[in-house]
Amino acid sequence: MTRPIIIDTDPGQDDAVAVCLALAAPDALTVLGITTVAGNVPLALTTINALKTVELCGRTDVPIHAGAAGPLVGEAVTAEHVHGRTGLDGYDLPTPAIAAASSDAVGFLRETLEAHPPGAVTLCCLGPLTNLALLLKRHPDAAARLHSVVLMGGAYFEVGNITPAAEFNIYADPEAAAKVFASGLELTVMPLDVTHQLLLTEARKSALAAIGNRVSDVIDGWVNFFERFDLDKYGADGAPLHDPSVIAYLLQPELFSGRHINVEIECESPLTRGMSVMDWWRVTDRKPNAQVMGSVDADGFYALLCERLGHFGGGR
């Protein structure tokens, strides 16, 4: 039996790779739909990029629903300096022939959750948590029907990648993140502490390129563009591939290990706004509210990614 999931995302090259990985695993995951949010680039572009990605994968049956164009409070923060002007710089995909199914992501989430048994659907959050926070605010009974939420966001030992203290997805809407972490939903978190272990070394990039199909060709272009920023910033052996960790966790949870701890989101301080304060060492009496991953088998992750992307076939 496959696991029904909804992907909430702001593509971004690594988000798009995560979508490709999910669509390459129909024996394990049923993608009920994709909701988009402003994040890496503005909402209009994240929606176009989601449409391009499902077209690339030959899965135009998966509906795309546009969501929040900005955070709950303040102005939108974007990351073109990382992802390029389009968010998918590195491979020029054609203008999508399909259109978004709606501009009401929250309505789609509510309707889909109400149409499935309680505890059936997992929400995969790859960007700012605005859409989920709005669902919690407007339709709390529907949100309570979620099986769980698996999200990429936050950091502790790796601190910040957009400010000295904050990871981008949380910083882009800390009020939304605070609402999600206070919600009581079952949360599994892939922070930078895990994703910075998933480096696209030359050997791993070569393995991806060697798959030799249309999807792997496009991903090769995406990651070659995407990595230039992180290589310069961190001086590591490769750029981290963040968001596919969420999908990999659903496919092979044994690749990951972590702790059930308390996570609070800082929303007030001008110095640490958006910081995810993780009680990793359990030094407070705050109640645990999230399963936070701390380590990953990186070789196993890339073996899974290459094996699954090979399911798209060898044609270009």
Question: Is 316 contained in some domain?
Answer: no
CATH of residue 201's domain is: 3.90.245.10
- pLDDT tens digit sequence for 246-293: 999 999 999 999 999 999 999 999 999 999 999 999 999 999 999 999
Q: Which helix (H) or strand (E) holds 81?
A: helix 80-83
pLDDT of residue 230 exceeding 70, the answer is no
Which domain does 237 fall in, by range? 3-309
Question: Is 314 contained in some domain?
Answer: no
Cβ neighbours of residue 92 closer than 8 Å, sequence gap 6 or more: none
Q: Is 273 exposed, middle or buried (0-12, 13-18, 19+ CB in 10 A)?
A: middle
Q: What pLDDT is stored for residue 237 in this prediction?
A: 73
pLDDT averaged over the chain? Answer: 95
Cβ neighbours of residue 219 closer than 8 Å, sequence gap 6 or more: 16, 17, 20, 208, 309
**Which residue would you say has higher pLDDT here, 315 or 17?**
17
**Choice among 81, 116, 242, 260 that is catalytic:** 242
Question: Is 166 contained in some domain?
Answer: yes
- pLDDT tens digit sequence for 88-142: 999 999 999 999 999 999 999 999 999 999 999 999 999 999 999 999 999 999 9
Residue 22 CA to residue 52 CA, distance in Å, equals: 15
Has 139 been annotated as catalytic? no
End-to-end CA distance of the chain: 31
Q: What pLDDT is stored for residue 40 in this prediction?
A: 97
Amino acid at 240: P
Question: Is 315 contained in some domain?
Answer: no
Question: Is 280 contained in some domain?
Answer: yes
Question: Is 129 contained in some domain?
Answer: yes
pLDDT of residue 233 exceeding 90, the answer is no
- pLDDT tens digit sequence for 161-206: 999 999 999 999 999 999 999 999 999 999 999 999 999 999 999 9
Q: What pLDDT is stored for residue 238 in this prediction?
A: 81
Question: Is 137 contained in some domain?
Answer: yes
Q: Structurally, how many domains does the chain consist of?
A: 1
